[in-house]
Amino acid sequence: MFPLAHALSLAPHPDTPPRSVRSVDVELSMTDAERVLLTFYIAPGEALAVPDPASPARTDGLWQRTCCELFLKPGGGDGYVEFNLSPSGQWAAYAFDGYRAGMRNLELLIEPHIELERQGESFVLEAEVDLAAIPAGPVAIGLSAVIEETDGTKSYWALNHPPGKPDFHHPDCFALELPAPDAS
C-alpha cells in the first residue's frame, strides 16, 4: 500500500532569500503505484512572476523562471529523474545516470498534466505525473521550486539544502523517503 499523502513545507536557500513570498508548501499524494499528484501552494500569489500560458509541451530551460520540481531517486543506484513543471503549462522530464551526469530526456508514456488556480492569497500549481518510467521499489524524493517574484527577485526553495550555492541535484535534497509499495 502506498502512503496516501504528505504535506510538506519547502525552505528558501539562505543565500537567496525571497523578498515578498513567505511560503511554498507542497502536498504529495500517490494516487496509485504509477501516479503522483503534486500541489504547490505559493503565498502570497500576487508577488509571483508567472510565465505566460503556453501549449503543454516538453520544453527545456523552465527552471530559469518560476518552476516547480520533483526529483526521484530509485533505491539501489546513483541514477535519478527530474521533472520541471511550469505555470505556463510546459514541462520537462530528464533522466540522469548520477549526480548531474548522463542527462537525457526521460521518455514518458503520459505527459504531466498541470493546472493552476488561486486559493485565497495562494497561487496553486497542481500537477499529475505518471511514474511508469521509474523502476518500482523504494524511492528518495526531492521537492523544490524556483520562485521568481514580480520585481525580479529569485529564490530557491527545497525540502533540504546542502551547504554552498543552491543545488537541487545534490543528494542532500532527496530528503523524503518512500518505501516500496506493499504488494498485498
**For the chain, what are the domain ranges?**
5-178
DSSP bridge partners of 117: 124
Q: What is the pLDDT of residue 182?
A: 58
* pLDDT of residue 3 exceeding 60: no
pLDDT over 70 at 108, yes or no: yes
Q: What is the pLDDT of residues 33-68, one digit of tens each?
A: 789 999 999 999 999 999 999 999 999 999 999 999
pLDDT of 107 higher than 50? yes
Q: What pLDDT shows up at residue 51?
A: 94
- CB burial of residue 22 (10 Å; 0-12, 13-18, 19+): exposed
Check whether 90 has a pLDDT greater than 60: yes
* HSE (side-chain half, CA atoms, 13 Å) at 118: 8
Which residue shows C-alpha cell 501552494? 41
Supply φ then ψ for residue 178, to 5 degrees. Answer: -115, 130
C-alpha to C-alpha distance for 104 and 7, rounded to whole angstroms: 30
Among 20-24, 71-75, 176-180, name the one with the lowest average pLDDT: 176-180
Q: Say whether pLDDT at 183 is over 90.
A: no
The CA-based diameter of the chain, rounded to the nearest angstrom, is: 52
pLDDT tens for 130-167 read: 999 998 888 999 999 999 999 999 999 999 999 999 99
Instruction: Assign 45 to helix, strand or coil.
Output: helix
Q: At residue 1, does pLDDT exceed 60?
A: no
Confidence band of 4 (pLDDT split at 50, 70, 90): low
- Counting residues of the chain whose pLDDT is more than 90, the rounded percentage is 84
What pLDDT does 58 receive?
Answer: 97
CATH architecture of 5-178: Sandwich (2.60)
pLDDT-derived band at 172, boundaries 50, 70, 90: very high
Check if the beta carbon of residue 147 is closer than 8 Å to that of residue 157: yes
Grade residue 181 by pLDDT with cuts at 50, 70 and 90. Answer: low
Q: Rounded to 5 degrees, what are φ and ψ at 39?
A: -125, 115
pTM to 2 decimal places: 0.94
**C-beta of residue 12 within 8 angstroms of C-beta of residue 156:** yes
